[in-house]
Each structure stands twice: as structure tokens, then as C-alpha cells.
Amino acid sequence: MRYIRLWEGFDGLISVIQTHLKDYAETEEKYGNVTDECKKQKLNSVKETIILLERMRGPHGYFIRRFDEVEAKYPKYQYLIVEYMNGDVDSGGGFIVQGNGWAGMTDEKTTGYFEFVNGKLEMTDSPDQCETDRLVNELQEYYTELEAVGTKADTDSDNDFEQLNRLLKENLYSWWD
């Protein structure tokens, strides 16, 4: 199921299963005639499955959630776009405002403190080198975490599919009784 494309009905399949499980849970809570402990276990497995299926909706949900976590952790670098006083906009590299210039790195991975000199962004002496170093290190950590987003998202997805497989294997027939 993990590799079915959205346009091939995966999202529709998730909706059908979720709708059934929500109806089942609601009915079981109101009218179920099983022992309390058994009812709790069945309802917990249904609710866990509904949550898993919700996380699986949409083709890029895992990636977007992991990406948003990194973005929230580093809000200063969120868009990596610099609007300069002369109206120019630069989205290459990553910069953060420091004093009258910017600490950061260019696309060529040159790091340091930058200011406009004769209308061109150039590396210059930092007014506070310790702060520049700190900001550059933080920016590099940000990029490192961004690079790991895809791998973490795939791991999250694989774990959810394994858990869903386990839940379906253990409970599928009892949910449809």
C-alpha cells in the first residue's frame, strides 16, 4: 500500500477505512456488548488505526511535517530570502541580519559576514566575529537538519505502515463483525 499513488485511489481507500472505523467505534461505544476490557482494547486499536491513517493522507504529509518541525526550530532562516536596501532580492545561500550586514553563506558555501560594497554583496570584517560564527554554525545545523528531513520522513512512514500492518493483521476481522 505504501507505494500506491494518490491518483490510483490510495486516498479514497484511506477515507473508506477511516469512515468505517469511526462508525464502528461510535457504534461500539454506544451499543457494544463485550466486556469492558475487551471493548477498551478494540476501541484503542481502532482509534490508533484512525490516527495512523490520518497521518498517511496526502502524498507528502510525512515530509511536510518533518520540514515544518525544522522550519519552526529555525524561524530566522525560514525562507532564506534577503531583501536588500536597494530593492534586490537574493534567495541564494542563507543569510541572517547582523548589524548593518548579514552573517551566512553563499551558494558557493563561502561563510562569514557580508555587506554591500559598491552595490555588490561581499564578505567583509564582522563587527562581532563570535556572533557571526555562532549564526553561521546555526545556519549550517539548519541545513544539516533539512538534508535529513527526507530520510526521517521515510522512516516515519515505514514505521506507520508497519504498525498499520500489525493492527490490521490482529484486528481486521473483529472490526467487521
Would you place residue 4 in the very low, low, confident or very high pLDDT band (cuts 50, 70, 90)? low
**Is 77 within the bounds of a domain?**
yes
Among 119, 120, 118, 114, which residue's Cα sits nearest to residue 100? Answer: 114
Would you place residue 7 in the very low, low, confident or very high pLDDT band (cuts 50, 70, 90)? very low
List the domain range (segments joined by +) for residue 166: 6-62+153-175
Kindly provide the b/e burial profile for residues 64-97, where b requires at least 16 CB atoms within 10 angstroms of the residue's own CB: eebbeebbeebeebeebebeeeeeeebeebbbbe
Instruction: Name the domain count of the chain.
Output: 2
Same domain, yes or no: 103 and 160: no
CA 62, CA 159: separation in Å to the nearest integer? Answer: 11
Same domain, yes or no: 88 and 134: yes
Residues 6+ apart with CB under 8 A from 46: 21, 24, 25, 28, 171, 175
Task: Please report how the helices 10-31 and 36-56 are oriented relative to each other, as an axis angle in degrees rounded to 10.
Answer: 160
Q: Which three cell numbers stand for residue 50?
A: 484512525
Same domain, yes or no: 141 and 88: yes
How far does CA 128 lie from the centroid of its chain? 34
Same domain, yes or no: 17 and 44: yes
What would the pLDDT profile of 16-37 be if each residue is shown by its tens digit?
A: 888 989 998 888 888 876 667 8
> Is the whole model's pTM more than 0.85, yes or no?
no
